Amino acid sequence: MIPKYCFKDDEGQLWFKESLTPSVGNSLRVDELIYAEDSDLQHLILFDNETHGRVLAIDGLVQVSMSDEFIYHEMVTHVPLLAHGSAKSVLIVGGGDGGAMREIQRHPGVERIVLAEIDGDVITFSRKWLPEVSKGSFDDSRVEIKIVDGVDYMKTGDELFDLIIIDSSDPVGPSAVLFTEEFYASCHKRLAEGGILVTQSGLASVHSDVVENTSEYFSRIFKHHGFYAITVPTFSGGVMTLGFATDDESRIAPAAGVIEERFAALDIDTRYYSPAVHRGAFALPRSLEALLKR
């Protein structure tokens, strides 16, 4: 039986097909199918591809590939952590693959990490099949794992965090509620003084409405916000945006040399992130700037 979201070509080769919109898609050859099953909440497929290595897709959309996962995970974590400079508590909503936790744990000043993941099967799955991504991050003593709906957790809890990262899948299906103004307002209430919210805000070419709406929501909730851009080869659609919101202007525009000093003091090796990349990522293409000004 051909797995969901897959097809065979005329030569019998199995391919995974990702459909970003009804008119845009992308295909990856399945060189070895490892797993293809439904969890209680979503469909998980894991396969090996000659170019990108091991690939995880959830509900037909690529979430992680071993060839480039470091780009997203480094940028969604080191940018806000180094912009903040003294974050001690971090909340991750989503992030069941453990990659964001892995990078956060490289900051010794962080004392507490809460992972709020709606689907516990993703964590179990990632521990077993993607240990290279998490690298033991689930077992760090600073981590508390909560299998909860992120929306409910934000509404009902009262713990404040220095940094909240919304490490969600694309704005469709169960994740769509993580892209609403109501949810961002709940996040704002859970930030400590000087806290930062970072969100996965979609691919500018495919989810332009999400980027535009997020900017509008942030402007009504936070005193300061912006977006920074990354390009991840297996995230089809070009430039991916990450939203950055705070009530502390110094977080979004640190003085010259501050990021460089903090990164040097951290003394870690990164594969994508650098202070220069950090600052450059906030320089958006004019077409994206125009979209955000509409």
Q: For residue 192, what is the domain's CATH number? A: 3.40.50.150
Domain boundary among 36, 65, 94: 65
The residue from 167, 209, 248, 267 that is catalytic is 167
Indicate whether 74 and 155 sit together in one domain. yes
Q: What is the largest CA-CA distance in the chain?
A: 59
What CATH number should be reported for the domain holding residue 60? 2.30.140.10
Indicate whether 20 and 100 sit together in one domain. no
Nearest to 65 by CA among 42, 77, 47: 47
CB 118 within 8 A of CB 41: yes
Indicate whether 218 and 198 sit together in one domain. yes
Query: In this structure, what are the phi and psi dihedrals at residue 158, rounded to the nearest 5 degrees?
Result: -135, 0
Indicate whether 220 and 148 sit together in one domain. yes
Indicate whether 30 and 123 sit together in one domain. no
Indicate whether 245 and 286 sit together in one domain. yes
Please list the rounded mean pLDDT of every run of 10 residues in the chain (294 residues): 95 95 90 94 95 96 96 99 98 97 98 96 94 97 96 94 92 77 96 97 84 94 96 89 96 91 97 97 91 76
pLDDT given for residue 172 in this prediction? 66
Q: How many domains does the chain have?
A: 2
Domain boundary among 65, 84, 99: 65
Indicate whether 105 and 248 sit together in one domain. yes
Indicate whether 262 and 120 sit together in one domain. yes
In a domain, 53, yes or no: yes
pLDDT given for residue 171 in this prediction? 67
List 116's β-bridge partners, or say none. Answer: 93, 146
Indicate whether 192 and 223 sit together in one domain. yes
97 is catalytic: no
- Residue 138 is given by DSSP the state G
Indicate whether 17 and 75 sit together in one domain. no
Range(s) of the domain holding residue 25:
6-65
pLDDT given for residue 205 in this prediction? 82
In a domain, 213, yes or no: yes
pLDDT given for residue 253 in this prediction? 84
Indicate whether 25 and 128 sit together in one domain. no
Domain boundary among 38, 65, 92: 65
Indicate whether 150 and 129 sit together in one domain. yes
In a domain, 1, yes or no: no
For the beta carbon of residue 168, count every other beta carbon within 10 angstroms. 21
pLDDT given for residue 179 in this prediction? 87
